[in-house]
Amino acid sequence: MKLIGPFKQIVTLANLSLRGKLSDDQLEIIVDGGVVVNEGKIQKVGNFEELRSENQDIDIEFIKGEQIALPAFVDSHTHICFGGNRANDFAMRNAGKTYLEIAESGGGIWSSVQHTRNASEEELLKTLLERINFLISLGITTIEIKSGYGLDVENELKMLRMIKKAQQQTQATLVPTCLSAHLKPRDFEGSNQEYLNYIINDILPKVKEEGLAKRVDIFIEKSAFQPEESKDFLLKTKDLGFEITVHADQFTPGSSRIAVEVGAKSADHLEATIDEDIDFIAQSDTVATALPGASLGLGEKFTPARKLLDAGAILAIASDWNPGSAPMGNLITQASILATYEKLTTAEVLAGMTFRSAYALGLEDRGKLEQGLKADIVTYSTNNFQNVLYNQGSLKAENVYIDGIKQN
């Protein structure tokens, strides 16, 4: 057991609701605070000197200078296992080329599929671990990672096995998701429906057998999979015992309704969601996940986060870090910019990157600094927690703790 502190401020996020809008005056801020950690869990949060006097024989990890502490962040939607690079896609898109023109010139998702298939296991693992370590340096200690650049049995399993191997080499929590239904690969001879059946019959049984993922995702869009075939696929995967999440309403509306109807844990993107579907989402337990990195990468509008919160939805904020549409990977910068455009309170942004994102992954043991929860903490060298979002990602994390153990 040890006491970490003193912190100028500890923002616990305690007592904040899972859904709906939040005001900053709801934030619990402990001044001159400390955190007692025991066996990887938070035992108590309070005034540092009071905690010290209550536990006179306790080990103390003294914090140097003025620092503030927050719950570590959760990135609930990433694609960081991939080969290659799509900088040319970004340049072409900014020069006015269309998605179809980029794809026809050798870019797009298919480009990432080819690079990922050609990458060795060692190359995939090395770059994956580099990206994981970058996220940890930002204070992100729980990371969802999708497959979806393999699109056949051999290469989807290769990706998921590398994610599993990476988990053995990092203290961060990795949450693998099978996104074989990213799009129908060009080399698959058959219809969309036949490819989805191939996933059900050939890929998912092996994923389950090897314990590679408990979650399945699908991209519902005109360029990928259509609503009815997607709904049928999701219900079948649910029957196989998988949790489900959905790439929904990125360019066209309607698929977020399917996510709710099939009981998906989250509906992610939602840039094109219409008002009546916002209310539909808000009345459900499906998390609405905003992905501002994709909006920034593509020059598209942002998820209607303000409307979703006002309607009572559970709003998470994730990075969508991928080689094509969201190459930045800096969740704190993205969330800060989303807050500016959507007029989100600091409490709403912090909740969206912590316990609300954790809920989207089925992890309710983290995201707040409360007794009994996982001792994942991020600290910053500042005397005011508001500076984290104010500096839009340029204020770097000072220390990152996983299970109460400093990582850097």
209-219 confidence digits (pLDDT tens):
999 999 999 99
Across 47-78, b (16+ Cβ under 10 Å) vs e yields bbeebbeebeeeeebebeeebbbbbbbbbbbb
Question: Are both 271 and 221 inside the same structural domain?
Answer: yes
CA atoms of 252 and 183, how far apart (whole Å): 16
Taken in order 181, 187, 193, 195, is the CA torsion positive or negative?
Answer: negative
CA atoms of 144 and 76, how far apart (whole Å): 5
Question: Are both 49 and 145 inside the same structural domain?
Answer: no
Residue with tokens 């927050």: 70
Is 127 within 8 Å of 159 (Cβ atoms)?
A: no
Q: Determine the pLDDT at residue 104.
A: 78
Interval 307-324: pLDDT, tens: 999 999 999 999 999 999
- CATH of residue 38's domain is 2.30.40.10
State the average pLDDT over residues 346-362: 98
State the average pLDDT over residues 264-272: 98
State the average pLDDT over residues 220-234: 96
Joined tokens for residue 266: 């989250």
Is 179 within 8 Å of 81 (Cβ atoms)?
A: no
Residue 6's domain spans which residues? 2-71+367-406
Question: Are both 234 and 135 inside the same structural domain?
Answer: yes
Is 283 within 8 Å of 262 (Cβ atoms)?
A: no
Q: Is the pLDDT of residue 24 over 90?
A: yes
Percent of the chain with pLDDT over 70: 100
Question: Are both 227 and 280 inside the same structural domain?
Answer: yes
9 by Cβ neighbours in 10 Å (0-12 / 13-18 / 19+) ranks as buried
Q: Which among 147, 154, 160 is positioned nearest to 118, based on CA atoms? A: 154
Q: Is the pLDDT of residue 381 over 90?
A: yes
Is 176 within 8 Å of 212 (Cβ atoms)?
A: yes
Question: Are both 218 and 313 inside the same structural domain?
Answer: yes
Percent of the chain with pLDDT over 90: 93
Q: Determine the pLDDT at residue 201.
A: 98
Interval 124-171: pLDDT, tens: 999 999 999 999 999 999 999 999 999 999 999 999 999 999 999 999
Question: Are both 149 and 234 inside the same structural domain?
Answer: yes
E-assigned strands of 200-335? 215-219, 243-248, 266-269, 287-290, 315-317
Q: CA of 269: how far to CAs of 42, 80, 190, 303, 383, in Å?
A: 33, 17, 28, 7, 34
Centroid of chain to Cα 218 = 16
- CATH of residue 335's domain is 3.20.20.140
Question: Are both 378 and 345 inside the same structural domain?
Answer: no
Q: CA of 155: how far to CAs of 33, 124, 334, in Å?
A: 49, 11, 31
CA atoms of 349 and 28, how far apart (whole Å): 15
CA atoms of 148 and 160, how far apart (whole Å): 10
Confidence of residue 109 (pLDDT cuts 50, 70, 90): confident
332 by Cβ neighbours in 10 Å (0-12 / 13-18 / 19+) ranks as buried
Q: Is the pLDDT of residue 294 over 80?
A: yes
Q: Is 182 left (phi over 0), alpha (psi -120 to 50) or beta?
A: alpha
pTM: 0.97
State the average pLDDT over residues 254-276: 97
Question: Are both 300 and 352 inside the same structural domain?
Answer: yes
Question: Are both 256 and 138 inside the same structural domain?
Answer: yes
* Domain count for the chain: 2
Q: Determine the pLDDT at residue 408.
A: 72
Helix, strand, or coil (residue 254): coil
Question: Are both 23 and 80 inside the same structural domain?
Answer: no
Q: Is the pLDDT of residue 99 over 80?
A: no
Q: Which among 244, 250, 246, 312 is positioned nearest to 281, based on CA atoms? A: 312
Q: Determine the pLDDT at residue 102.
A: 85
Confidence of residue 101 (pLDDT cuts 50, 70, 90): confident
Question: Are both 150 and 296 inside the same structural domain?
Answer: yes
Is 255 within 8 Å of 220 (Cβ atoms)?
A: yes
Interval 40-79: pLDDT, tens: 999 999 999 999 999 889 999 999 999 999 999 999 999 9
Question: Are both 376 and 356 inside the same structural domain?
Answer: no
Joined tokens for residue 9: 């401020």
* Higher local confidence (pLDDT), 110 or 191: 191
